[in-house]
Structure 1
Amino acid sequence: MTQEPFLREGLKVEEARQEVLKEIKKVLDNSTIPYESISLENSLEKISSKDIFVKQNIPGFRASVMDGYAVSHCAKPHKGQHWKVVGQSSAGKPYTNNLYEGEAISISTGSLVPDECSWVIPIEQIKIEMIKDSSFVRIHLIDDLSTSTWIRPVNDQLSEGDIVLAKGQKITPSIIGLLASCGISYISVFKSFKIGLLISGDELISPGKEKSTGLIWESNSFLIKSVIKNLGYDINEISIKADEKLKLKDSLIKLAKNNQIVISIGGISVGEKDYIKNIINEIGSIKFWKLFLKPGRPFAFGFIGKDVPFFGLPGNPVSAVVICLQILWPVLQVFSGVKNIETPYRFKIRINSDLKRRKGRPELIRSKLKVDQEGELYADIPPTQSSSQITSLIDSDLLIEIPPDRDFLKEGTYLWAQLFRKQIL
């Protein structure tokens, strides 16, 4: 069997993800994620800590699908049939009297349909007749009805005993609406965990300060904090340090003491002042280093002490974002109690231009999702792909997956892509 090339370059992304999750679950197996009861209005992006069951049918009564007339004791109305209108049922004000054969009530959409009625006739199919010297109105059916009764059942949305929210499920806007429609105002969710972030570099200064030659404004803390926020999590503590080993070591120890996960950006390579990897081996252990991926290197995963996961991200901003999506996001979900781990949605899409590259590692190329005149989707790949340039992330919707053994891809080629737009509902 021919050995697959480039394995010396590091773990493949999927292998790395599974290895990280295996190690993380070992740590979490020894502890229970704490939970709390919170109000429904504060539950967005939280994770349910238990199954929630519906205690009654929803909506709980038969409701009209249309504005029209509910007719009583009728197998199926037919053209020319007529009924005496004796009342009405409107939203929040149901008709409560008995209905007899030949009687009907006017009814609005969503209103309760009395038990005696098995049909609602849409108002468009009714002719109204005012009876002289009388106080009632008679209606006539002017056309044959379809097979629809225009009545929703008592359990149209949910049945008593159904699970409305499963343990480990993320709470989205649509779930909040559904829970509210079931009369639920408080739910049990897993408590948020704390993330500590270390940024290292002698060249870094804060935005807003005067910059001299050779220095750069520090941006990675803003970028990664925002990415993690968009994923539904919060950075609890940020430490920005120069490349001094003792200060970096002290900062990592403090972050591990105050947080359940520690992330560092920069200082993880093999340069003279790249101290982070050696520090982690002194205060914990590095489980693996390097990924078979571009961008995404260098990267290190390990533990501070025995149970605080550590993620050493590259200093280049695009590489750091890619690692957040490919490796860190699944870990954050496990820590928050998510049952079904989510990763970027993948599908195939054609590229709109020839693509030349140096083969060797698989590559994730940023691109814009567009639609042509025929309504077909395609990937518009911008020329700027440097992992140091944040501009390549702006307006990007996709990460196009380039196989490691391809150095030329012709316009129109279909490739796997990862969609990373934020979900709305």
Structure 2
Amino acid sequence: MKLSHDIPLTPIDEALEILRTSVPRITGSELVTLADACGRVLTEKLVASANVPSHANSAMDGYAVCTRDLVGEPIKLKVVQRIVAGQVGKPLSEGEAARIFTGAPLPEGANAVVIQENCSLDGDQVEILKMVEPGENLRKVGEDIQAGEILLEAGHRLRPQDIGLAASTGLTQLLVQRKLTVAVMTTGDELVRPGVELKDGQIYNSNYFMLSALLRILNAEVIELGVVEDDLVSTMQALEEAASLADCIVSTGGVSVGEEDHVKTAVEAVGGLELWKLAIKPGKPFASGKVRDT
């Protein structure tokens, strides 16, 4: 479909809506490691495969006790072991306590932890200065996450905290939407790659590096088409090549009405134009369309 040159300028909000409705959604999924998953979009529900925590553990530094032993005046228990995070203690017998630290598994026979500020140690005897209730100062099995719980829905864009959540359940990979592939095409006989000595009339191709950096922030896979010469045939060939490689083509330059602006004409020749000229300055000579289904 060709547009006449006298078509009214399109307001920016209307143009954005046209772009949103005309661009097809990508399909396909891939497994990625947690290290590569941030910013990607889940394609299936994230379901917890394990309880977090997987075992009852102490929420405080103190002494693991059985509340049935907290009788009499004064209340004194024999300290028979020391348990730190990562260790598994031995079962407690009647009248015994265990020195325990935050995150350490609760030993069998204990049902509460008395914080160290409410205890007084004398040799291997600990005096309990304040009573506790069963379950006090503990993290129970599955208190944070229960096995089978839906943690995140499909379609969720993963944030750093989501990666930590997945790791806490033991996952190493996530199924996410494949990356959008974007072919970036710059036009202009005057453009050269940075690092090359400039000749008279030349400028560095800064637009490609800016656009590719912006696209990579969005987790797009960038395909560099290089600089396309300012002629219609080369532009048409570049567009057709890009359409065979990518989901989307982004070009810069060549969409105004100058004699060397060939992109708009090339799109109309090998595809169709859906949008041209915005009611905004700078940026009025903006065009959008399709080459094949791209």
TM bucket normalised to smaller: 0.7 to 0.9
Deviation (angstroms), 1:260: 1.4
Larger radius of gyration: 2
Q: 2:158 aligns with which of 137, 150, 171?
A: 171
Q: How does 1:34-49 map to 2 (within 5 A)?
A: 34-49=28-43
- Write the deviation string for residues 298-344 of structure 1: whole angstroms up to 9, x where unpaired: 22221112x11xxxxxxxxxxxxxxxxxxxxxxxxxxxxxxxxxxxx
TM-score (norm 1): 0.61
**Given the alignment, which residue of 89, 99, 103 partners 1:95?**
89
Match of 1:272 in 2: 259
Cα 1:38–1:205 shift into 2, 3 Å: closer
TM-score with structure 2 length normalisation? 0.86
Identity %: 27
Distance 1:302 1:122, change over 3 A: same
Q: Within 5 A, what are the aligned runs for 1:90-129?
A: 90-100=84-94, 102-114=95-107, 116-129=109-122
Change (3 A) 1:115 1:20: farther
Which runs of structure 2 are paired with 1:24-423 in the superposition (5 Å)? 24=23, 27-28=24-25, 33-74=27-68, 80-100=74-94, 102-114=95-107, 116-130=109-123, 137-142=124-129, 149-305=136-292, 307-308=293-294
Per-residue deviation at 1:294? 4.5
CA contact (8 A) 1:70 1:119 kept: yes
SS of residue matched to 1:236: strand
Q: Secondary structure at the match of 1:279?
A: helix
**Residue number in structure 1 paired with 2:3:** none
The corresponding residue for 1:10 is: 10
Indicate the residue corresponding to 1:316 in structure 2.
none
Q: Residue type matched to 2:211 in 1?
A: I
Which of structures 1 and 2 has the larger relative contact order (alpha carbons within 8 angstroms, sep 6+)? 2
Runs of 5+ unmatched residues, structure 2: 1-6
Q: What are structure 1's unaligned runs of at least 5 residues? A: 1-6, 131-136, 309-425
> 2:88, 2:104 within 8 Å by CA — same for their partners in 1?
yes
How many residue pairs match? The answer is 288
- Superposed displacement of residue 83, structure 1: 2.1
Instruction: Give, in angstroms, the shift of residue 182 of structure 1.
Output: 0.7
What SS class does the counterpart of residue 117 from structure 1 fall into? coil
* Distance verdict in 2 for CA 1:125–1:304, change over 3 Å: same
How far off is 1:91 after superposition? 1.8
